[in-house]
Homo-oligomer: A and B are copies of this chain.
Amino acid sequence: MTTPLEKARQDPESMKARILDVARRIFGEYGFHGTTTRMIAQEVGIDISTLHYHWGGKKDLYESVVVDINKDLRQKLSEVEKVIHGLPLSERLAISIDLTTDYLFDHPEVSNLILYRYFGKTRCEGNFDAIVPEFTADIARSMGLARDKKNVPPETTMKVLAVMNSIHNFISGESFFRPMLKVDRERYIALVKETLKFIHIPAFTQNEAT
């Protein structure tokens, strides 16, 4: 059985997929309450009723967007893990930061939506957040902080969260921070990578026997 989301992804040109792509971006920029179905429909160039026909309602669409975002990020992280496998920790960190940062700058709605879900409330319920802990467990193992994915101690989860969040912050905050720094986009990306390495590599390599 294929979920509606999988079905939408099979043909990227399908109306369903087009709506999903636009919805990712708009929801990411304005959050759940800041986004109207009319904004999304207009951006796609369709009527709102077409949107409702394909996705049911605003909340359903939003939930699909969140699931889609998480699926993408998870896949990207697993790609990154294959690249860094076997390298020394400091290199693993540096390469992970480079690759993840590049990916997220290309898909800022991923960071936007994740931060929105972390820090904002939605006045409606919705419970599909069990995906996040798995993320952190994967990353923890890949950083050599945990042997298996079960029983990762809170201290370790916190460290992983700190790393992930610091990346999302700079991606998502570009529109705020870059004017403040008065640098162009290319320079900003370089600064982000540099800063993330400056902050994180010493922390995780301080007790390492080279």
Which residue on chain B has the smallest CB distance to residue A191? B158
Copies of chain A in the complex: 2
Of the candidate stretches A70-78, A89-97, A197-205, the one touching chain B is A197-205
- A83 interface contact, C-beta 8 A: no
Interface residues, chain A, with chain B CB atoms under 8 Å away: 29-34, 112, 115-123, 129, 132-133, 154-155, 157-159, 161-162, 165-166, 169-170, 172-173, 175-177, 180-183, 187, 191-192, 194-196, 198-200, 202-203, 206
30 A-B pairs in the complex with CB atoms less than 8 angstroms apart: A29-B120, A29-B121, A30-B33, A32-B34, A34-B34, A116-B119, A117-B176, A118-B169, A118-B172, A119-B119, A121-B175, A129-B180, A154-B182, A154-B187, A154-B191, A157-B180, A158-B177, A158-B191, A161-B170, A161-B173, A161-B195, A162-B166, A165-B165, A165-B166, A165-B169, A165-B173, A166-B166, A166-B169, A199-B199, A203-B203
